[in-house]
Structure 1
Amino acid sequence: MKAMGLSPQTVERVSRLWGKSAARNGGRTHLLLGHLLDTAAVAGVMWDRYLSAAFRRRLDEVSGGRGRLWFMWVCGIHDCGKACPAFQAMDAAEAAPVLAAGLRWGRLPTDRRKMWRHDVAGAALLKPRLVAEWGSDEAAGWVWPLVAGHHGVFPSVRGIEPPHREVQGRGAAWDEVQRAVVDVFTRVVGFEDMADVRPVGALRKAEQLALSGLIVMADWIASDSRQFLGLAEADLVSFDGSRRRAEVAWDRLGLRGGWRDLPLPRDRLEPLTGRLGVTPRASQRELLERAWSMPVPGLLIAEAPMGEGKTKAALATAECLAARFGFDGVFVAMPTQATSDPMYEQVLQWVRTFDPELESQVALLHGRRRFNAWWRAIWEGGPRPDGAADGCGCEDGGTDPAGAYDDFGAIDEDADNGMQCTEARAGAGSLPGADGPAHWFLGNKRGLLTAFAVGTVDHLLHAATRTRHVMLRFAGLAGKVVVVDEVHAADIYMRQFLVEALRWLGQAGVPVVLLSATLPPAQRQLFVDAYLSGVQGAADVHQLVPEPAGYPCVTVAYGVGGRAVAETSREAVPSWRESAPVKLSWLPDTGTDGKRVAEAVRDAVADGGVVLVVVNQVARAQAIYDELRGRGCDGELHLLHARLCAAHRADRTAKCLRLMGPLAGENRPRHMVVIATQLAEQSFDVDADVLITDLAPTDLLLQRIGRLHRHSGTRRPDAHRAPRVVVTGVAGGRDGVPRFLGASEAIYGRWSLLRAAALVTEAAGQLPIAGAQDLLPGEGGVWSIPADVPGLVARAYGSDEICPAGWHEAEAWEQWQAKEAKREEKATEFLLCRQREWASPTLEGLHYAGSRVPATEEQLDALVRDGDPTVEAVIVRRAPGGYRAYDGTWLGVHGEVDDDEVTDRLMGGTIRLPAKLTAAAQAELRPLPGWADRPWLQYQLALVLEEEDGTTPLGKHRVSYDDVLGLVEHQ
């Protein structure tokens, strides 16, 4: 510092500024300059071993070829605002040497509204210097928010005005010290002075958001006191020392990137034929060829029938896009937790073909991942499933540390950092070696930062919400190829967040692959316009998508030379299997006793066969099962729905896949019935001979039909050589207007059900009146599947009236539109960016109304899923002298759990309660006293079933748990 011409007094003062207090840093003070250099050094390691080539290239472009140096500087400078009285006065012991060096402050405010946070203090300190020394408001305008937002919220420019000068530092001494901190750090990192740091260009706003997340990542790693011991003496601080510390910390944490400059495949089809070992179907070839032909990263939408192999084609496409454009990993977004598990195992197998060690970089992102055998084997050191030695046979948890302060209060010194994850504490230990998985990524909000991730689509949608640390989630997406399966499953509320995410991904130049079998044309257009809005940096881009030549088809959208491009398959692409007539017939029934459906099941399975029943209500599924069990049914009988505990649901899902899946072979039973709710609707790779289904909107009805005669080569009884669908859950009224199950209408709305009923009527004939005909379904007519799929979906969601006169379709439409408009408006409250501000060039004011800070994972999910909130509870049975788990495992007098094995058994009883029980559960249920010191259990609600009758009151209801039926509500 003396070499820079600083006075001895200034050198002494800078040397006393603290960045981490001993009280919160493992008992060792860490000087401010030491932390800034540590963070810059971590950034250097991230550049070398983590950042995607695509993002490195962009940073090189905006910094005049000095991307690595500039990245280290912008990461390290983040905490310069700690050089102010408001921060230095926060700890009396640490403040004493600062005061002794001659830096003074007067009375600081105690009103939380006037307290001064070091993130905004840094922006207030840095902004005028950047403007003055860079000579450009524009250059400074996108950089200072990166400093202001490093604790998760981007304030407006007015938000960085200190309430009064005292908190920021008044007088020449503070001005000189603050200037010196920035100058010393800048010189030590490698720039000549602040003017030398000036970028030659600007990142786009979405790229700024990703960069902000990477700054947070570097800060959090450098704030881990176990890796970076505090340095309280200035002569111990050096950049060489910080670089050594950063390399050691990175290795000890087991951190790494993904592919790291993935080479181009040897030929265009090699990602399919070699990597995945498949003989390419025409639709798979088409998707991969379009990925090869795109001149820049863009959006691809693959529409193909169920069972066509879209997922494998998407993985091959991801490899192509990553190799061509420099991306380092993949995120695969699935509609549900249940569909995420098999996809995780598939991605594990695929990733291992690149490098077996990469399997430890594949994260499964949902709240029940602990029950996935492969997750446990890889991330927690458990035995591999089925005794496998290696290979694969096939978020964030805890409380939010950011809740330690509100949006406008004082930041408790780095309260967001050092967030040890629950799983790391409970599993393989806090410091895994470099040869194992990086448990650091399991911490709160970090899951998407892993190189490869599979999880629910919620994680993608969370990155489009105005929540604290949204930049960390977006940074995890920006270096990856993003694949969204079953994209049609997003309802209008969720779709707002998906559209918002596509805008930001488009602006960041992130390649996205959307997959669907039943995508309405209007949604295809919406997704293309959203992505191109990001590419063009405007909110109202509309690039007409040409009508596809056929089905399957691929749509591509990208921007090149300032021009937006949207194209579809130029020629018809044949499906892998020819279309076949699927016979449809009606079984009018809106009852809840299950008798009529059960009788139809018995008739269907009498001469052999596998029957899948999909209904829209758990109670209806339970009633049908009870009726079949009570009066007899040939063959195996299975019940699958969302009110099963985690262990039972996982076991039954696995068994159904084993007996009805693509590898069933000789294991396929001669007689089998599966009764399920919407869990079996999509991403459930089973093959049924007969489908009996409640009426649902047309696209979802077609998804259910996709489980029918799905696998080639499956042996079937003669009676089921032709696929057959029986549609129930609806009956004709005396006036000819359909009557629907109350649950169906509550879930889907009347308009979409009327449209679906009209289309089925065209094939199956007039909807009979319940009780006015024979018990069993009639002959009906046919749909040609998959040829009819796009036309049926287009008509179902088109503007032409298709219902018979007298069905009051127009009235239902108006009601549906009004409800959808309210849901759409509700979502805008939580979107990351207001539409009118989308074209703004910087992140300034992004959190214009503060941040949404959900206290729990359920509350975060509630932001992106419109519906009544639900909670999970763990089933516990009261026993003499204590408690037992759902399976009878003894827990102890107060519910004590002795080891991880017992914890696993207990957590297998986790169940999601119906929404109508949420309020009662939150008010009445608590964790058991014996769970207080168990990380996985300390916040879990216990649903204690009484010893006498196995029930418990919950609000106005009484519930029990049956090992077969699942959660049962009693009147």
Structure 2
Amino acid sequence: MGDEASVVELMRAMGLSPEVVERVSRLWGKSAARNGGRTHLLLGHLLDTAAVAGVMWDRYVSAAFRRRLDEISGGRGRLWFMWVCGIHDCGKACPAFQAMDAAEAAPVLAAGLSWGRLSAAPNKRWRHDMAGAVMLRPRLVMEWGEEEAASWVWPLVAGHHGTFPPAGALDPPRGAQGRGAAWEEVQRAVVDVFTRAVGFEGLSDARPVGALRKAEQLALSGLVVMADWIASDSSQFLGLADAGLISFAESRRRAEAAWSRLRLRGGWRDLPLPEDPLEPLIDRLGVTPRASQQELVERAWSVPVPGLLVAEAPMGEGKTKAALAAAEVLAARFGLDGVFVAMPTQATSDPMYEQVLRWVSTFDPELESQVALLHGRRRFNAWWRAVWDGKPRPEGDGEGCGCESGGGRSDVEWADDDFGAIGEDADYGMAPSPSPADPVADDRANGPAYWFLGDKRGLLTAFAVGTVDHLLHAATRTRHVMLRFAGLAGKVVVVDEVHAADVYMRQFLVEALRWLGQAGVPVVLLSATLPPAQRQRFVDAYLSGALSTADVHQPVPEPAGYPCVTVAYGVDGRAVADTSRQVVRSWRESMPVRVAWLPDTDLEGARVAAAVREAVAGGGVALVVVNQVGRAQAIYRALREGGFDGDLHLLHARLCAAHRAERTAQCLRVMGPRAGDERPERMVVVATQLAEQSFDVDADVLFTDLAPVDLLLQRIGRLHRHSGTRRPAAHRVPRVVVTGVASGRVGVPRFLRASELIYGRWSLLRAAALIEDAAGALAASGAGGWAGPGWSIPADVPGLVARAYEEAEVCPGGWDEAAAWQEWQTKERKREKNAEEYLLCRRREWAFPTLEGLHYAGSRAASEEQLDAVVRDGDPSVEVVVVRRASGGYRAVDGTWLGVHGEVDDDEVTDRLMGGTLRLPPRLTAASLAELGPLPGWAGRPWLRYRLALVLEEDGTRLLGADRVSYHDVLGLVIARGAG
């Protein structure tokens, strides 16, 4: 029969008895109480979901994944994709589900289907996703003729609510699944009618001829969930309670209309190959290719299959633009539909978002509305607001804004209710799609798809820029991880500043590389200071996935020089790893960098302030990077109170969002690549590690606390960064002054306590030893001067990084390096073990061919903030909104009046209020959670109702635990310890 036939007509044509037709026609899928007041029958929802999947195939799913589904389905990929998406809810045809709503259950009972008493205990109730697996599994084995195909398909049904159970969990309580001939006939009919309606002759006809690899199954599972969530939107799919009105043709019309109204779309959609190999660099990005950029793009052209590319090049070389050009080539060659660019921090994500926006618009201006910025403070990004909220465009061209121009964990246990019923549709993330802040924006014909702003959906946008956490989340054993992974699987993934991941985060990055390798996702990793051992580990992880083998070790040849590009891929069952065999010249010649010591471990930093003042007395721009906020604040105060008469700025993580954004933008404007005449005659920026990477500023002289060598070199990357910058004669040669360390007993270095807690004693000892080679002995540095030979940058970078992390000792004998190494190793192994419990797959399970049992101990992290804590080691911290108590009510941090109870009347006031957001240090977490809460007037505002308010009294301070805290517009959050 044609697809215009109703399901009632189809059932009659199939020869089903009138009783079965009646019973199937009464089964509900969405209750009126939870579906906008209109009941939606089960077959209607199954067909709606299949129809949405058909639209997704045509307009969203990447060409690469479409090819794979065609391969495993014998050339019927679209039909099979619709079937597997739609069949997901067949398990609702069971007593446990049909009995959940008394009003909906009455017609079902009247039709002759019955059930006994069912358990109402949350951990005993039978879930319909599990019921669907129980219903399908034996039929698939029987009608497909073998276990292998069924074994990877049933978990897609069992896992569509976010977790994949083990087969042992498919044990329904008595009566919950349905017993007797009536239920058996109805359940069989639901599957058969749906299967016939979408276009198969029967269930046996839907048998796949091959199997997807496990990572591809995970991506497919995410697409099933996506189709389900779209089809479950009651505002788009009105309920149909009459089976005579339900047909596949009607569902297809509904799906087309909903897709159009939601403005959903894919990305490039079969991107054509560039006519010229370097066109993506020259024409698209408007750059004259540097040798290192050309090398990366040429490697993207040469790899025979999707693979891993690791680009190592000096700071300021233009790696990010080269990566975007390489992404275009890889996407066009292998059928990918978009790009995700992962950055180390929120601050580095913002300027990259602006750059990706401009790049994407060169393909099609309408694609600009498909670029998502993924981090919690995106509403403060002017370009984000312009695109997604219809606000005015920011002034300026957005270039040079931080990009290179050319947390604690929550302990979880396995619990019965991980697979227990929570509700009729326990979709964690089924909240209505967010609406734009400005309703006028909704009238734009080609505006953004706000559906993608919903929980866990951000990576599903065609193009996304965000913190690396979003990539790491896709490698965690967390609920709905399949949605995150599906968002990556159709893209090229670029990870900038990959060295910034510490040993804990690196476990998740390695896990992600395994899964991406198996899914055939091209990955581009970028770094200026990548230790060789890390490069090797990333290559082995990707190859393990590409070859579906747990332990691959393919030695990477030594690069011919620096910059270099390493490529790794699996082809014909073998691993390939290669690197630049010829020297690739940097865009600029290496320059001598003079290095000196400034012994100082005083938190107040008075000696540092005096040296900085002297260094720029005759003019110049100094950057001071220290390892703790309190020290940065103290140095700033010492400079200001000491009469420094130049421009002075303070930048650290305890500034509220608005002040931090304003100050960062100001520094970039006057120290960036286009500063020109705006560059001050005399200026000092005092900063913490925020200025360490992806901060495109140019300093004449650098003062820095001691840090591990790779991070120290990143800081040096801000020194004499831009060609053509005018400098005073005293600063023609770049200089680095290393402080935060002093000579202790018998010449053994003493470190700032904060530095040692952050980085560990071993890495600081190694750094101090290597700096002594360049600056002379620390113990003899009291006389000052530039005693050592310095470094040649960037020529010395790879050698310094390699020496810093090689096994051979580099410290003088009396420094007791061996003991520090043992302590460091012990801590690193412990952190690795802590991460293992959250990794997506246990080591011994990597070779398992299906998703069965993937969530053997799933985390129940409920919010993005909690999920961030899973992938970032350390003590937990919380964000607060700074509010000032005023006579008769409250004011935002900028003085905006809020109201008697903190009421916020419109989005502009909300923005001003949220500009006071900041993250407290971990030591204040317990007190904050115990003492702070939202203001009463925030209850009705989605952005605010769960925010903690740090209410400062009229004197500007308040007690928080045992400490007194205050917020200063220049200094930021100030903590007086034990001042209560």
Whole-Å separation in 2 of the counterparts to 1:931 and 1:225:
28
Whole-Å separation in 1 of the counterparts to 2:468 and 2:123:
37
Query: Cα gap change, 1:793/1:938 in structure 2, threshold over 3 Å: closer, same or farther?
Result: same
| Amino acid in structure 2 at the alignment position of 1:346 | Q
Once the two structures are superposed, residues 120-176 of structure 1 have per-residue CA deviations (whole angstroms, 9 ceiling, x without a partner) of 100000000000000010010000000000000000011112132x10000000000
CA contact 1:858–1:870 (8 Å) conserved in 2: no
Q: Secondary structure at the match of 2:683?
A: strand
CA contact 2:433–2:451 (8 Å) conserved in 1: no
CA contact 2:958–2:966 (8 Å) conserved in 1: yes
1:891 equivalent in alignment to 2:898: yes
Distance apart, 1:411 and its partner CA: 3.2
Gaps of 5+ in 2: 1-10, 404-413
Pairing partner for 1:133 from 143, 147, 152: 143
Q: Secondary structure at the match of 1:884?
A: strand
1:150 equivalent in alignment to 2:155: no
| Alignment partner, residue 319 of structure 1 | 328
Matching of residues 570-585 of structure 1 within 5 Å: 570-585=581-596
| Alignment partner, residue 934 of structure 2 | 927
1:806 equivalent in alignment to 2:814: yes
| Amino acid in structure 2 at the alignment position of 1:92 | A
Pairing partner for 2:546 from 535, 548, 552: 535
1:58 equivalent in alignment to 2:68: yes
Query: Cα gap change, 1:33/1:404 in structure 2, threshold over 3 Å: closer, same or farther?
Result: farther
Once the two structures are superposed, residues 669-691 of structure 1 have per-residue CA deviations (whole angstroms, 9 ceiling, x without a partner) of 11010000000000000000000
| Alignment partner, residue 88 of structure 2 | 78
CA contact 2:566–2:580 (8 Å) conserved in 1: yes
Whole-Å separation in 2 of the counterparts to 1:506 and 1:924:
46
CA contact 2:389–2:436 (8 Å) conserved in 1: no
Whole-Å separation in 2 of the counterparts to 1:430 and 1:690:
47
CA contact 2:671–2:698 (8 Å) conserved in 1: yes
Q: Secondary structure at the match of 2:182?
A: helix
Query: Cα gap change, 1:916/1:121 in structure 2, threshold over 3 Å: closer, same or farther?
Result: same
Whole-Å separation in 2 of the counterparts to 1:84 and 1:875:
51
| Alignment partner, residue 119 of structure 2 | 109
CA contact 1:302–1:553 (8 Å) conserved in 2: yes
| Amino acid in structure 2 at the alignment position of 1:63 | S
CA contact 2:233–2:432 (8 Å) conserved in 1: no
Distance apart, 1:427 and its partner CA: 4.8
Whole-Å separation in 2 of the counterparts to 1:268 and 1:387:
31
1:605 equivalent in alignment to 2:616: yes
CA contact 1:586–1:780 (8 Å) conserved in 2: no
Matching of residues 475-490 of structure 1 within 5 Å: 475-490=486-501
Pairing partner for 2:237 from 209, 222, 228: 228
Whole-Å separation in 2 of the counterparts to 1:798 and 1:18:
64
| Alignment partner, residue 839 of structure 2 | 831
Whole-Å separation in 2 of the counterparts to 1:592 and 1:663:
35
Distance apart, 1:781 and its partner CA: 2.9
Once the two structures are superposed, residues 690-710 of structure 1 have per-residue CA deviations (whole angstroms, 9 ceiling, x without a partner) of 000000000000000000000
Once the two structures are superposed, residues 191-213 of structure 1 have per-residue CA deviations (whole angstroms, 9 ceiling, x without a partner) of 00011000000000000000000
Q: Secondary structure at the match of 1:278?
A: coil
Pairing partner for 1:789 from 794, 797, 802: 797
Distance apart, 1:393 and its partner CA: 13
Deviates more, 1:407-416 or 1:815-824: 407-416
Taking structure 1 as the reference length, the TM-score comes to 0.97
Q: Secondary structure at the match of 1:874?
A: strand
Distance apart, 1:852 and its partner CA: 0.7
Query: Cα gap change, 1:491/1:676 in structure 2, threshold over 3 Å: closer, same or farther?
Result: same
Pairing partner for 2:866 from 839, 843, 859: 859
| Alignment partner, residue 671 of structure 1 | 682
Distance apart, 1:858 and its partner CA: 1.6
Whole-Å separation in 1 of the counterparts to 2:160 and 2:863:
22
Pairing partner for 2:48 from 23, 26, 38: 38
Whole-Å separation in 1 of the counterparts to 2:416 and 2:717:
49
| Alignment partner, residue 566 of structure 2 | 555
Whole-Å separation in 1 of the counterparts to 2:247 and 2:419:
35
Query: Cα gap change, 1:211/1:342 in structure 2, threshold over 3 Å: closer, same or farther?
Result: same
Matching of residues 427-506 of structure 1 within 5 Å: 427-428=438-439, 434-506=445-517
Distance apart, 1:825 and its partner CA: 0.3
Query: Cα gap change, 1:428/1:916 in structure 2, threshold over 3 Å: closer, same or farther?
Result: farther
| Alignment partner, residue 380 of structure 2 | 371
Q: Secondary structure at the match of 1:781?
A: coil
Distance apart, 1:970 and its partner CA: 1.3
Distance apart, 1:409 and its partner CA: 2.2
Distance apart, 1:588 and its partner CA: 0.2
1:907 equivalent in alignment to 2:907: no
Distance apart, 1:734 and its partner CA: 3.0
Query: Cα gap change, 1:628/1:387 in structure 2, threshold over 3 Å: closer, same or farther?
Result: closer
| Amino acid in structure 2 at the alignment position of 1:954 | L
Pairing partner for 1:950 from 953, 956, 967: 956
Runs of 4+ that moved beyond 6 A: 387-390, 429-432
Q: Secondary structure at the match of 2:576?
A: strand
Pairing partner for 2:948 from 926, 941, 952: 941
| Alignment partner, residue 976 of structure 2 | 970
Query: Cα gap change, 1:417/1:922 in structure 2, threshold over 3 Å: closer, same or farther?
Result: closer
Q: Secondary structure at the match of 1:876?
A: strand
Query: Cα gap change, 1:564/1:432 in structure 2, threshold over 3 Å: closer, same or farther?
Result: farther
Q: Secondary structure at the match of 1:424?
A: coil
Query: Cα gap change, 1:155/1:432 in structure 2, threshold over 3 Å: closer, same or farther?
Result: farther
Whole-Å separation in 1 of the counterparts to 2:534 and 2:398:
45
RMSD across aligned C-alpha pairs, in angstroms?
Answer: 1.7
CA contact 1:405–1:412 (8 Å) conserved in 2: no
CA contact 2:348–2:402 (8 Å) conserved in 1: no
Matching of residues 176-191 of structure 1 within 5 Å: 176-191=185-200
CA contact 1:430–1:439 (8 Å) conserved in 2: no
| Alignment partner, residue 875 of structure 2 | 868
Once the two structures are superposed, residues 539-596 of structure 1 have per-residue CA deviations (whole angstroms, 9 ceiling, x without a partner) of 1111111111110000000011111100001111111111111000000000011210
Matching of residues 187-266 of structure 1 within 5 Å: 187-266=196-275
Whole-Å separation in 1 of the counterparts to 2:534 and 2:587:
25
| Alignment partner, residue 59 of structure 2 | 49
Pairing partner for 1:336 from 341, 345, 353: 345
Whole-Å separation in 2 of the counterparts to 1:72 and 1:7:
27
| Alignment partner, residue 397 of structure 1 | none
| Alignment partner, residue 650 of structure 1 | 661
Whole-Å separation in 2 of the counterparts to 1:446 and 1:288:
30
Whole-Å separation in 2 of the counterparts to 1:428 and 1:551:
52
| Amino acid in structure 1 at the alignment position of 2:962 | K
The size of the alignment, in residue pairs, is 956
Whole-Å separation in 2 of the counterparts to 1:124 and 1:661:
61
Distance apart, 1:115 and its partner CA: 1.2
| Alignment partner, residue 822 of structure 1 | 830
Q: Secondary structure at the match of 1:554?
A: strand
Distance apart, 1:857 and its partner CA: 1.8
Q: Secondary structure at the match of 2:233?
A: coil
Distance apart, 1:300 and its partner CA: 0.2
CA contact 1:405–1:411 (8 Å) conserved in 2: no
Identity of aligned residues (%): 80
Whole-Å separation in 2 of the counterparts to 1:966 and 1:411:
44
Q: Secondary structure at the match of 1:610?
A: strand
Query: Cα gap change, 1:834/1:825 in structure 2, threshold over 3 Å: closer, same or farther?
Result: same
Taking structure 2 as the reference length, the TM-score comes to 0.96
Query: Cα gap change, 1:46/1:930 in structure 2, threshold over 3 Å: closer, same or farther?
Result: same
Distance apart, 1:662 and its partner CA: 0.6
| Alignment partner, residue 773 of structure 1 | 782
Distance apart, 1:423 and its partner CA: 4.8
Whole-Å separation in 1 of the counterparts to 2:680 and 2:787:
26
Distance apart, 1:854 and its partner CA: 1.1
Whole-Å separation in 1 of the counterparts to 2:745 and 2:489:
57
Whole-Å separation in 2 of the counterparts to 1:406 and 1:252:
37
